[in-house]
Amino acid sequence: MTTTRPMSLTARFRSLIRGIFSIWLRDREHENPKAVYEQAINERVRQYRELKEAVAGILYMRNKLEAEISERRAEIARVHDDVRRAVRRGQDELSLPLIAHKQALLEELERSEQELEGVRQEAAEAKQNLIRFREEIRGLVREKGRMLATLANATARRRMQEALDGLSVDTEMAALESVREHVARVATEGQLQAEIGDTGLRTRMAEIRKDARLEAAREELSRLKAEFAGKALPEKATEVIVPVAS
């Protein structure tokens, strides 16, 4: 029977800290997805640069091997011509080392060609990986744009929905009715004030008109009196005195 030893206090504390940090980090990532995408893209770009340098090194090796193979083939052709000339001249002591050298060059050429074939395959695979890596970076950039736009749209909709859910129709209508009643009361008070003001004005106008009529009547009376007084004076002035005969 196997028994498991309980975790020490230090190990439990480390585990708790790791859990708290993981939760905190996850919450920060959810709050700032743009930074997460930027970090992922930057990491891919760094790896792409390293892979690009590696591919450049492989291509350099391929080009170097191709140049060496071309030189060996040219040298083999020259040695082959030397062997033929030595054989024609009957110089066996020269022909044997030339033939051995030629064989060595052929073996080196074969090894170089095999190595070149492997390097070429490696270079082709590395270039394909480089292209895929580049497309992955471009895909991440496009995904970042789409996801951020989707998140912004979803956040706006959620805020709108929360705002709509938080509204109380009864409360809003009650407030609206209260405002309407207040406006109606203010309008009624203004109308009443206008009516009160018009009554006082009409009263003052009536008094003014009454005074005007009285004044006109007094003027008419004075004019008539003056007219009557003017007619009475000429009648006295035209009275004829008849002399009495003596």
Q: End of a domain among 120, 140, 168?
A: 168
Domain that includes residue 196, residue range: 178-225
Q: Are residues 34 and 156 in the same domain?
A: yes
Q: Are residues 110 and 63 in the same domain?
A: yes
pTM of the complete model: 0.45
Into how many domains does the chain fold?
2
Looking at the fold, whether 182 and 164 belong to one and the same domain comes out as no
Name the amino acid, one letter, at 135. E
pLDDT value for 22: 55
Q: Does residue 133 sit in the same domain as residue 219? A: no
For residues 154 and 216, state if they share a domain.
no
Spatial neighbors of 109 by CB under 8 A, at least 6 apart, are 69, 72, 73, 76
Distances (CA, A) of 129 to 49, 57, 60, 125: 12, 15, 17, 6
d(CA 197, CA 40): 79
Domain identity same for 78 and 193: no
- Same structural domain, 160 and 188: no
Residue 189 forms part of a structural domain: yes
Same domain, 204 and 159: no
What is the model's pLDDT at position 12? 60
Q: Are residues 164 and 182 in the same domain?
A: no
Measure the CA–CA gap between 84 and 77, rounded to whole angstroms: 11
Residues 153 and 218 placed together within one structural domain of the fold: no
Q: State the residue for tokens 């792409």.
A: 48
CA Rg, the chain, in Å? 61
Please tell me whether residues 143 and 30 are part of one structural domain. yes
The answer to whether residue 102 is domain-embedded is yes
Domain assignment present for residue 44? The answer is: yes
- Is 77 within a domain? yes
Q: Do 61 and 119 meet the contact criterion of CB atoms below 8 Å apart?
A: yes
- Same structural domain, 70 and 192: no
Q: How does pLDDT run along the chain (246 residues), one tens digit per residue?
A: 455 555 676 666 566 566 654 565 455 545 567 788 788 888 888 888 888 888 888 889 889 899 999 999 999 899 888 888 888 888 888 888 888 888 988 898 899 889 889 888 988 888 888 888 888 888 888 888 888 888 778 777 777 777 766 655 566 666 777 777 777 777 776 665 555 555 566 677 778 888 788 888 888 778 888 877 766 545 444 444 444 443
